[in-house]
Amino acid sequence: MLSPLSSLAAVILLGGAAQWIAWRLRLPSILLLLPIGVLAGPVSGLINPDALFGPILLPIVALSVAMILFEGGLTLNFRDIRDSHRVVWNLVSIGVLITWALAGLAAHFILGLPPALAALFGAILTVTGPTVVGPLLQQVRPTGPAAGILRWEGIVVDPIGALLAVLVFEVLISGGAGFAFAPIATSLGKTVLVGGGLGLLAALFLQSAIARYWIPDHLHNAVTLLLVAGIFAASNAAAHEGGLLAVTVMGIALANQRRVNVHHILEFKENLRVFLISAMFILLAARINLADLAEVGWRGAAFVLVLVVIVRPLASFASAAGSRLSLRDRIFVACVAPRGIVAAAVTSVFAFELDRSGAFPEARLLVPMMFSVIVGTVLIYGLCAGPIARRLRLAESSPAGLLLIGAQRAVREIAFALHTRQIPVILLDTNRVNVSQAHAMGLSAITGSVLDDTSLAEVNLAGIGRALALTQNDEVNLLAVTRLAGVFGRAGVYRAAPRTEAGGAIGRVLFSRERSAARIERLLDEGQRVVELSAAEFTERARGPNPPTPLFYLMSGRAIPVAVDEPTPRGEYRVLALAAVAADAPGAAQPAAGASRSGNGAWAS
């Protein structure tokens, strides 16, 4: 076994490596984190979490789960489920009860667990988890209400499922003696009041402290971490397992208030979440007993199939009954319910307590059984969710559309040239006149700011794969790509060439370092047009005295933005460029029918 310092370093190194390799292979990271944890733990003996952390291991896991759920709560906005809140409510109530009953029965008859232990295992399986649902949705990017429903369910169901598991655990430990509805209802009500109340108070205090400048900017994240940890511990001390509910409510309350901006806190928590997920999965996997895992055997696979094929569809379709949710969305919701770190952590805690009590010898099998469920559900849903979403026409494998930030004349002409070539384009601008003139050209345009949550939520990103910031304000462009990198990834955001470049700034620089948005506007005023050229034509004209400015490479119905210092694509392509040509030259973009050139160079009807 490694030294304590080397073990800690190994956990961080292996977690980071697994995350990066999973990204390169386009796989859910958990599919690598769990096997790596097993290899580092019981197989090689390099890492022994119990020896490394001792009695504080499970409290560390619990606190990490609290941080993850708080971050998940920060991503939930009520507008995402404006028309489908009933389905979410049903999923975390009716769906939970159905899942508990069916999963418990399957655990008894397939896994061979005693009825009491099967009931506990079924209760734990009611949770899904933001650690796997979120990345899966980000990878698939489904359209419609299904994404919002699944995101809300994945966060909200976790404290509910954990609370249900606690109630079952308490009955199980007492041996069923003295079971009564009143004490259970009292305990449940206390947990909801304490957890929900403290979570709301913490959110109110934090937003007030930020709004009144009681906390300096550089301490916002530190104070937020302090509050999350304090509220989690205080809620757990006041009401058993009230901490998870408290941090979830705190995150949701902060996400839906309009008094202060909390995006910088969310960005920090997203980075922290990646680290915590990596470390927790490796540590928990490293505790698995290989003999117990082998004892589960084929029963684990059969149990996973029952969860995927029977339990989840019944629970989701029952929850959507009577709603306006389309059949396609209902099917997709039924096809996504992977388990993650919350299920693993809760199982580890209960298995440890039951094993220590000695009342249930089979409790040692709970962790390897949950290991099988996590791997199986993530593997099935991770590999199938994308193809199913595309088959249901809820997602595209490689979206070709473009989101253009800005709608001034140059952007409209570029967008019109793309639109006439069947490239999906959406423009977003705060200037209503620009947006109105874009509409007159037959373009899809929205009035709003890319920095405003409400405006961005109105943009239907179905089929959109890249974002280009093309305003004449360099600061706005930089803020836009920084914001949109979380949606499209750093590789999918571009910005117009700035007047002065800031080192290490996010976003690929478009077209040419000498071609800022303002410069392109002036070239249009001088008579240049957006035209389509063959690769040979472009190369020949690039050697002339007035070379064209390349804008996009056109390949197989796609428009790939030309970025500074990046090589030309392989294969056959044509070039959409800004060049000096006659107004009636072939390949030049023409105005939409019924539109004419106004005095300021815009298209007007």
Q: How far is CA 123 from the centre of its chain?
A: 25
Q: What is the pLDDT of residue 453?
A: 64
Which of 213 and 543 is assigned the larger pLDDT? 213
For residue 398, the tally of other CB atoms under 10 A from its CB is 6
0.85 surpassed by pTM: no
Q: Is 80 exceeded by the pLDDT of residue 326?
A: yes
- Specify the CATH number for the domain of residue 510: 3.40.50.720
- What is the mean pLDDT of the segment spanning 80-87? 78
- What is the mean pLDDT of the segment spanning 50-58? 86
> Could you tell me whether strands 549-555 and 464-469 are parallel, antiparallel, or unpaired per DSSP bridges?
unpaired
Q: What is the pLDDT of residue 201?
A: 93
Instruction: Please indicate, yes or no, whether residues 408 and 556 belong to a single structural domain of this protein.
Output: yes
Range name among 177-181, 375-379, 591-595 with the lowest pLDDT average = 591-595
d(CA 191, CA 240): 7
35 falls within a domain: no
Instruction: Please indicate, yes or no, whether residues 244 and 359 belong to a single structural domain of this protein.
Output: yes
Please count the structural domains in the chain: 2
What are the tens digits of pLDDT across the range 404-443?
888 888 888 889 988 888 888 888 888 888 888 888 888 8
Confidence of residue 96 (pLDDT cuts 50, 70, 90): very high
Beta bridge partner(s), residue 529: 579
Confidence of residue 597 (pLDDT cuts 50, 70, 90): very low
What are the tens digits of pLDDT across the range 460-512?
776 788 888 888 888 888 888 888 887 777 778 888 888 766 555 667 788 77
Q: What is the pLDDT of residue 296?
A: 81
Please give the share of the chain, as a percent, with pLDDT higher than 70.
89
Instruction: Please indicate, yes or no, whether residues 377 and 452 belong to a single structural domain of this protein.
Output: no
Range of 545's domain?
401-604
Instruction: Please indicate, yes or no, whether residues 316 and 422 belong to a single structural domain of this protein.
Output: no
What are the tens digits of pLDDT across the range 121-132?
999 999 887 777
What are the tens digits of pLDDT across the range 255-292?
888 888 777 777 677 678 888 888 888 988 888 888 87
Instruction: Please indicate, yes or no, whether residues 459 and 314 belong to a single structural domain of this protein.
Output: no
Instruction: Please indicate, yes or no, whether residues 374 and 436 belong to a single structural domain of this protein.
Output: no
Q: What is the pLDDT of residue 386?
A: 83
Instruction: Please indicate, yes or no, whether residues 237 and 288 belong to a single structural domain of this protein.
Output: yes
List all residues 6 or more positions away from 8 whose beta carbon is below 8 Å from its beta carbon: 52
Q: Is 90 exceeded by the pLDDT of residue 312?
A: yes
Confidence of residue 191 (pLDDT cuts 50, 70, 90): confident
Given 391, 419, 438, which residue is the final one in a domain?
Answer: 391
What are the tens digits of pLDDT across the range 534-559?
888 888 887 777 888 888 888 877 88
Please give the mean pLDDT across all residues of the chain: 82
Instruction: Please indicate, yes or no, whether residues 376 and 449 belong to a single structural domain of this protein.
Output: no
> Could you tell me whether strands 464-469 and 401-405 are parallel, antiparallel, or unpaired per DSSP bridges?
parallel
- Which ranges constitute the DSSP H helices of 125-180? 130-140, 146-173
Q: Is 50 exceeded by the pLDDT of residue 598?
A: no
